[in-house]
Amino acid sequence: MTILETKNLTFSYPDGTVALEDISVRIEKGKKIAFVGRNGSGKSTLFLSMNGTHRPKKGEILFHGKSLKYDSKSLREVRKNIGIVFQNSDDQIFAPTIYQDVAFGPTNLGYSKEKVQEIVHKTLEYVGLMHLKDKPPHHLSGGQKKRVAIAGIVAMDPEIIILDEPLANLDPVGADEVMDLLNEQSYFGKTIIISTHDVDLAYSWADYIFLMNEHKIISEGTPEEIFMETEKLKAAHLRRPATLEIYEEIKRRGMARNNCCPRDIPDLVHALRSQHLLWVDVTPEVKEGDYINLGVFYGEYAQNSDYEAANCKVLHIHDDGLAIVEMDRKAFRAGSIGVYDTARYSGGEFTEIIKRDGIECVGAMGKKSKLLAEKEDIYLDVTAGVIDRSILNALAGQRCLILTHGGMVHHAMDRIKAYLEKSGINIPVSIINPGADEPVNQEVTESMTT
């Protein structure tokens, strides 16, 4: 279902500078959309046109199939449902305190003081800033300011959230926290639209991409389709994502399967081709025909056989001490991934889970869960890229636990299950402390505690 559409949109600034030329796009409801292009390609102007801030010179914008109107009442309704987070948070945050800034939107929607307070408290709790509600915004870090700006939009409960370069000037942890929020909002059914020149972000995150150059849309499609269009990427002065570049190099050397489009590190690991013959260093006492053990070898994983120990027969020893060996594999059970909902945290229960399940790696997603870990003195092994890192650690035999909350609990489960289904690998995964309305798969849970 199309929620937002532009038809032949053209916009020029008062000095005659052309910013958009004949832009026609259709945005599907509930999707994660990325507009990708270098600075100056027209992304920001397009976004400001989408919520009526800029009125196009030609063309039209349709929201739920109805053409945008520019009277005050119509624009107020559109901006309630299409929220924009600017690239520079200082351009958006203006109130004396964080509470007042987040309250601005709900107050202008005419809600009562009690209703506004309820919304603001709930939203600040959600973004992990409740403890800073009375602070002046200029005392905040870049990542905190970005979350305040997002909170101000989320508080109005829009259908579409648009973010202009959402990760600009953020450190890796701050960037990860922002993406956690966006992924959770997507899980809740919001349509998320971002602009970026970060091809790695767009490739790994988006459902659909519009490629922009010189104020025009020059291509559109899935991430796999867009980043195979070498000439159009070159025209837009963009490179291919790093995971694709690495994949092409290892494929060229015969070390990866053909026809793969790995979008993240777990996908890339799974694309690696199994090597049955290897060159290895051997000690002088090893003879041809001997068996040596290389420990755990990460290769092609079979269902129910997620990592392997490689016993190798020495076929030939070269004069320089390098040997050609043939692997004889023995399969072992992989690690596991548990997802713990911190909204139902209990200190005693949590300690028992860590001990009972032999948890070796703990990660946290979302600022609220990270603050809980800090308060409860829970050591976190992983704070960024938590889902991917947990998958990789589980493939290496570790028992992992992800702390998160709200919609991110099911987002994490869906992301892990999608990888397992795509790869054919079997890793036990479950919600460790489900609510009453979340039935537990007993078979999976038992495998976690074996």
What is the rounded CA–CA span in Å between residue 236 and residue 443? 50
Grouping H, G, I as helix, E, B as strand and the rest as coil, residue 281 is: strand
Looking at residue 417, its pLDDT comes to 94
Looking at residue 442, its pLDDT comes to 35
What is the rounded CA–CA span in Å between residue 165 and residue 194? 7
Is 383 within 8 Å of 370 (Cβ atoms)? yes
Amino acid at residue number 391:
I
pLDDT in tens, the chain (450 residues): 999 999 999 999 998 889 999 999 999 999 999 999 999 999 999 999 999 999 999 999 999 999 999 999 999 999 999 999 999 999 999 999 999 999 999 999 999 999 999 999 999 999 999 999 999 998 899 999 999 999 999 999 999 999 999 999 898 888 999 999 999 999 999 999 999 999 999 999 999 999 999 999 999 999 999 999 999 999 999 999 999 999 998 888 777 888 889 999 999 988 886 656 777 788 888 999 888 876 555 444 443 444 455 678 888 888 888 888 877 655 555 689 999 999 999 999 999 999 999 999 999 999 899 999 999 999 999 998 999 999 999 987 899 999 999 999 999 999 999 998 888 778 899 999 997 666 554 333 333 333
What is the rounded CA–CA span in Å between residue 279 and residue 126? 53
- Contacts of residue 291, defined as CB under 8 A and 6 or more positions apart, other chains included, come to 311, 312, 313, 314, 328
pLDDT tens-digit readout, 43-100? 999 999 999 999 999 999 999 999 999 999 999 999 999 999 999 999 999 999 999 9
For 11-85, where are the alpha helices, taking DSSP H only? 43-50, 72-81
Looking at residue 446, its pLDDT comes to 33
Is 300 within 8 Å of 392 (Cβ atoms)? no
Other C-beta atoms lying within 10 Å of the C-beta of residue 364: 27
Looking at residue 310, its pLDDT comes to 62
DSSP tag of 434: -
Domains of the chain: 1-239 (3.40.50.300), 274-325 (no CATH), 334-429 (3.40.1010)
Looking at residue 316, its pLDDT comes to 85
Looking at residue 301, its pLDDT comes to 40
Looking at residue 340, its pLDDT comes to 97
Looking at residue 304, its pLDDT comes to 42
- Contacts of residue 253, defined as CB under 8 A and 6 or more positions apart, other chains included, come to none
Determine whether 299 is exposed, middle or buried from the number of CB atoms within 10 Å of its CB (0-12, 13-18, 19+): middle
Whole-structure pTM value:
0.82
Is 385 within 8 Å of 143 (Cβ atoms)? no
Phi/psi at 229 (5° precision): -90, 80
pLDDT tens-digit readout, 7-47? 999 999 998 889 999 999 999 999 999 999 999 999 999 99
Looking at residue 20, its pLDDT comes to 96
